[in-house]
Amino acid sequence: MNRQRWLLLGLALSLAFNFAFLGAFGYRYWIKRKYREKWPHRIERIGPPFPQGPPGFKDRFEFRKEQMEKLHHIRKRFFPRLEKTWKDVFQKRMELTELITAEKPDTVQIDRLIDEIGKLQCRIEKEVVRQMLKEREVMSPEQREHFRKFIWNYLEGCKKNFPPPPDEKR
């Protein structure tokens, strides 16, 4: 009787692991596939497709028509400028992956690529901040205040993704 219980327990655990695997695989294959089809730039890191801003952007900040036209004009020049850099970062990450997975990884080459990726990401960060400053110029004082709160709320939400500073406890 004791042996039969162990066999049933083993069978139940085996079935649980198999269902968990199938569920995870199914999620990644079917659900994530829809995401990849809808937002391929997010997978390849080639950049956002929203020349008018992300969904709800216009409504959240209550932009007037002329403000949206100015923002569209500003963004029309922004995304093409960054697209090559996004593609370069993606290409460097592909090269880095090849080096990391090589039979004998070349740490000098890996360090060089990491430095190059860092420079490209720094360029992207600077461009994004400059873009935000240009967009901010189009905003009214009330919209700027709303924008300030929006950015701080976003950063507060990101805190949970990073460890706290050494002198701060969560």
CATH number at residue 134: 1.20.120.1490
Tell me whether residue 155 is in a domain: no
pTM over 0.85: no
d(CA 94, CA 5): 50
Give the per-residue pLDDT at 41. Answer: 46
Tell me whether residue 14 is in a domain: no
Tell me whether residue 156 is in a domain: no
Of 20-24, 47-51, 108-112, 158-162, least confident by mean pLDDT is: 47-51
Mean pLDDT of 150-162: 78
Residue predicted with more confidence, 72 or 113? 113
Give the per-residue pLDDT at 42. Answer: 46
Residue predicted with more confidence, 65 or 28? 65
Tell me whether residue 55 is in a domain: yes
Give the per-residue pLDDT at 31. Answer: 63
Tell me whether residue 94 is in a domain: yes
Give the per-residue pLDDT at 170. Answer: 56
DSSP letters spanning 82-127? HHHHHHHHHHHHHHHHHHHTSSS--HHHHHHHHHHHHHHHHHHHHH
Residue-range definition of the domain harbouring residue 127: 34-141
